[in-house]
Amino acid sequence: MKKKKFILSGNFLISMLLLQACAAGPCYPLKHPELAHRTTAGAKLGKDTKGTSVSEPQTSDSRVFVYKPDGSLQCGMGKGIPPEEMEKELEGIKVYSRENRPDGKMHIQVCGSPTGQVNVYEIPASSLKEAEKRGFKKFEP
């Protein structure tokens, strides 16, 4: 009986360590590391007098991320729409950055099913409603 308690405690400890590791940043490598400094609210990160990272208050040009599935299918049965091409759907909305990345959700592994790849765009927060009308959803990285 004590052995089972130790195993459960060990699994719990490992799970907590993994959760803590992922809380500090992405648990998978970024395709575009130069975008890693961006935040969902558009707040700029700075350093206080002790060198600790802090958030500056949001400005009127706050930004949000929106996404739309790229249409790619597993086993190469459907090619995805490149972010540059899909960006045309956001015509009239300022786009600060774009990236194709996994949506972070679990997906069934069957040929012909969606891959979970999405095109993500950084836009002004004031344009979120317009982007949603065009089929995009707010993305929480």
pLDDT at 45: 42
pTM: 0.57
Residue with structure tokens 């790229």? 70
pLDDT in tens, 41-58: 444 444 444 444 444 444
